[in-house]
Structures are given as structure tokens and as C-alpha cells.
Amino acid sequence: MKLAYVGLPCQLQALRKLQLFSSEMEQSWMHSVELAIGLFCRENWAYTCLRALVEDDYGIKLSDVDKFDIKKGKMLLYRGGEVLQEIPLPETKPYVRAACEVCLDFSAELADLSVGAVGTPPGYSTVIVRTRQGMELLRAAEQEGYVEVRHISEVKPGTKLVVKLTREKRDENLAEAERRAKEGYPARHIATMGERELSRIVEESKGRSFNDLERHVIDAGMCIACGTCVAVAGDVLEMVEERPRLKQGVAGDAVLEKAYLACPRTSLPSMLMAEELEKEVEVKSDSLGRYIDVFAVRATEKAQLSHWQDGGAVTALLLHALQSGRIDGAIAAMRDENWRPVPVFVRTPEELRATAGTLYCYVTNMPLLREVSSQ
């Protein structure tokens, strides 16, 4: 089965780490992903925290909100096309996930295509093409009339703002990681970003138990709730309220080497992952990571989207990939009537269109990817 995977930068880190260490974990299901689309992300909120912010602090029911957006330092809540509430971003900071504060990736540097609203005019999405297959999809979708494509140099503000936000996130979160290290909670993934000896990382996972995973990642505020450990060791682990936990009857000191190795926060040789991602074409390398080129993209009427966020590029590109047979389905996310995020496997254009729009809550989707890939 050929799948597309849509995720945040941290989720793409989990996917690429799984692919890099698949032989050591004696698993291959993660290689069903033919196309990975990453979403720009400065920070994210757990659902319970977003609900507390909106409903408790501002007295607005989530069910009354049609759309969320972040523009010019504010979180905007819409209803009926009108702004229902503006929340200054500094007021949302106490609700941001602790793990987001030690993530250094703004533009999903390990994706085939990275997509976000920063850098392009209203109605467009910025698309950073990082791999050959990403470029092939973009050009094919353009040729078939699913998207309109302009080079980023033709629009304002262009990549300058993307670079600015990339550096700000990296600098601020490096400082936070240093602060945590002084308190005894080192960010192991940051310390291993330049690691090239994979055998060292594998050796470090030997004999590790859930107690180690809990101490180094979960209780240290590093866990991104991707569910990768559960996907690898679902016989003994489960997700409970966005937290990995042992199933009943399993001892905490039971050896869980594969789960520890798979976690993107116990180690993250991201430089090597990026280099392995694309070797067939010449790429640039700067503050945006490794990439081929950058474009401003928006969906056309052919995509038949009744709603979308910004340019609708992600949904339009996936629609073309699905209808052209490049993929058999996609792992994505949608929401219920109260904005609770739900991971979904979509196989039809109608199912895919239902996922259009942006969620600002994290969704655990790696166990679903394993389930679908193993069918």
C-alpha cells in the first residue's frame, strides 16, 4: 500500500527516525509512506489546554467556533466568516505543550513537501519542495490543473519571514533546552542531531525499560505524544490521554529497547536523516534546511474544496496524488464538532476533502499508520 502522511515537524522526525532504524527494530511498515507532507509549526496545544483557554478563559464554546487562524501575533476565532474573538498569542503561552518548547524545527525539514501560510499573500500557501518526489507531485498537480503555482520570488514577503520565524524558534527553544539541562532534564534529541554513528544510538537503547523512557522523555516534558513507542510496542504500551503508559500487568522495568530506540526524543540524528532523504538531485542548504526550491501555491476550482485553510495546497496536492494513483490513501487528521482532533485514514476524494482546514491541537497518529500499513 502506498500512503501519504501529513504531520507536524516533530511527527515527521518520528517517521524518518522509524525509517532510518527500521532494520534494527525488525519492522518495515513505516516504509509504506511514499509521500510525507509537513506543516509549518511554531507551537501547538493539547486539546484539553485549548479547550481551557477558549471555554474557561474566554467563555466561548468550541462548538461555536467555525475556524481558527493565527495572524499577526493573534489567535483568531471565527464564526460565520466573522472574527468571534482575538486572543493575543502571549496569552496562549501557558497552554503550549511543554515538548514544543524544545523543538527546533519550524518548517518541517524532513518532509517531501513543507507547507505553511507564512511568506505568501492571503489565499496562498508557501510550499518548500525538499525531494524529487515532492517536486514531481507539485508539477503534476499543476499540469493537471489542481493547483496554481508561482515562484516564491514573485510574491511578498517571500522566504524572509519564514527564515525569521525559523531562527526565532530555534534560538528560543535552544535557550529553553539549556535551561532544562541545568535542572537535570537534558534534551537528548538535540544533543544527538549531528550524530552519524547509528550504532551508538542503537547501543544506547540496549536494556532500556519504560522507566527509562518515562524518566528521559515523558516526565521530563519532552514527549510529543506521537505514539511511536506504542506503534512499535503496542503489545505492552498504550496511549492514555496523550501519554504513553504500560498496559496493566506489565512491569516498568521490563526491557523495551525498540520503543526507546524509536522515540524521536531519546535521540534524533536529524542531519543524517535529511541527507538520506534526497541524494538524487542537487539541493540548497540554509536556514530552511535542505530543499530544492520554494513556491507560492493555491488550490484551483478543480480541487472542489468547500473549505480550506489559506491556499488549500495540502488538500489539493493530496487529491491529485490520490486520483492519479500515486497513493492509495493518506494518514491525516480531522475534528469533531467540539474541535477534538481525530486521526483518520482517508481513501476517497470525499473523505480527503473532509479533512481540509487547520487544527491547532496535536493528534496521535503513528499507531494508526502502523495499523493501516499492516493490513
Render each residue's pLDDT in the chain as its tens digit; 375 residues. 999 999 999 999 999 999 999 999 988 999 999 999 999 999 998 899 999 999 999 999 999 998 898 888 899 999 988 999 999 999 999 999 999 999 999 999 999 999 999 999 989 999 999 999 999 999 999 999 999 999 999 999 999 999 999 999 999 999 999 999 999 999 999 999 999 999 999 999 999 999 999 999 999 999 999 999 999 999 999 999 889 999 999 998 989 999 999 999 999 999 999 998 877 778 899 999 999 999 999 999 988 886 666 789 999 999 999 999 999 999 999 988 889 999 999 999 999 998 987 788 889 999 999 999 988
Gap between the terminal Cα atoms of the chain? 9
Q: What is the pLDDT of residue 107?
A: 97
Whether 167 is covered by a domain: the verdict is yes
Q: Is residue 211 domain-shared with residue 281, that is, in the same domain?
A: no
Looking at 219, 244, 262, the residue that finishes a domain is 262
How many separate domains does the chain show? 2
Residue ending a domain, choose from 239, 262, 285:
262
**Is the same domain home to 240 and 301?**
no
Q: What is the pLDDT of residue 308?
A: 66
| Cα–Cα distances in angstroms (integers) from residue 293 to residues 112, 152, 288, in the given order | 12, 9, 10
Q: What is the 3-state secondary structure (H, E, C) of the chain?
A: CCEEEEECHHHHHHHHHHHHCHHHHCCCHHHHEEEEEEECCCCCECHHHHHHHHHHHCCCCHHHCCEEEEECCEEEEEECCEEEEEEEHHHHHHHECHHHHHCCCCCCCCCCEEEECCCCCCCCEEEEECCHHHHHHHHHHHHCCCEEEEEHHHCCCCHHHHHHHHHHHHHHHHHHHHHHHHCCCCCHHHHCCCCCCHHHHHHHHCCCEHHHHHHHHHCCCCCCCCCHHHHHCCCCEEEECCEEEECCCCCCCCECHHHHHHCCCCCCCHHHHHHHHCCCCCCEEECCEEECEEEEEEECHHHCCCCCCCCCHHHHHHHHHHHCCCCCEEEEEEECCCCCEEEEEECCHHHHHCCCCCCCECCCCHHHHHHHHCC
- Whether residues 157 and 277 share a domain: the answer is yes
What per-residue confidence (pLDDT) applies to 38? 97
Clarify whether residues 91 and 168 are in a common domain: yes
In a domain? residue 40: yes
CATH number, domain of 205, equals 3.30.70
Between the alpha carbon of residue 164 and those of residues 26, 49, 92, 259, 270, the distances in Å are 40, 27, 21, 35, 21
Q: Please tell me whether residues 133 and 83 are part of one structural domain.
A: yes
Q: Do 353 and 216 lie in a common domain?
A: no
Note whether residue 178 is domain-resident. Answer: no
Give a yes or no: residue 243 inside a domain.
Answer: yes
Distance in angstroms (rounded) separating the CA atoms of residues 67 and 70 = 10
- Residue 257 inside a domain? The answer is yes
List C-alpha distances in Å: 278 to 24, 38, 131, 301, 318. Answer: 22, 16, 6, 32, 21
Same domain, 280 and 365: yes
Q: CB 61: neighbour CB atoms within 10 A?
A: 11
pLDDT of residue 209: 96
Of 19, 299, 29, whose CA–CA distance to 131 is shortest? 19
> 98: Cβ–Cβ under 8 A, 6 or more apart, which residues?
221, 222
Domain assignment of residue 220, yes or no: yes
Q: How many CA atoms lie within 13 A of 275 on its CB side?
A: 8
Q: Locate 210 and state its grid cell.
A: 519504560
Give how far the C-alpha of residue 149 lies from the chain's centroid of Cα atoms, to the nearest Å.
Answer: 23
Same-domain check for residues 151 and 100:
yes
Residue type, 142: E
Domain shared by 11 and 133, yes or no: yes
Residue 124 lies in a domain: yes
For the purposes of burial, counting CB atoms within 10 Å of the CB of 353, is it exposed (0-12), middle (13-18) or buried (19 or more)?
Answer: buried
Same-domain check for residues 244 and 367: no
Name the domain boundary from 220, 246, 262. 262
For residues 339 and 229, membership in a common domain is answered with no
By residue range, what is the domain housing residue 193?
183-262
Cell numbers 513543507: residue: 114
Question: Is 242 in the same domain as 353?
Answer: no
Beta strands at 67-71 and 74-79: parallel, antiparallel or unpaired: antiparallel
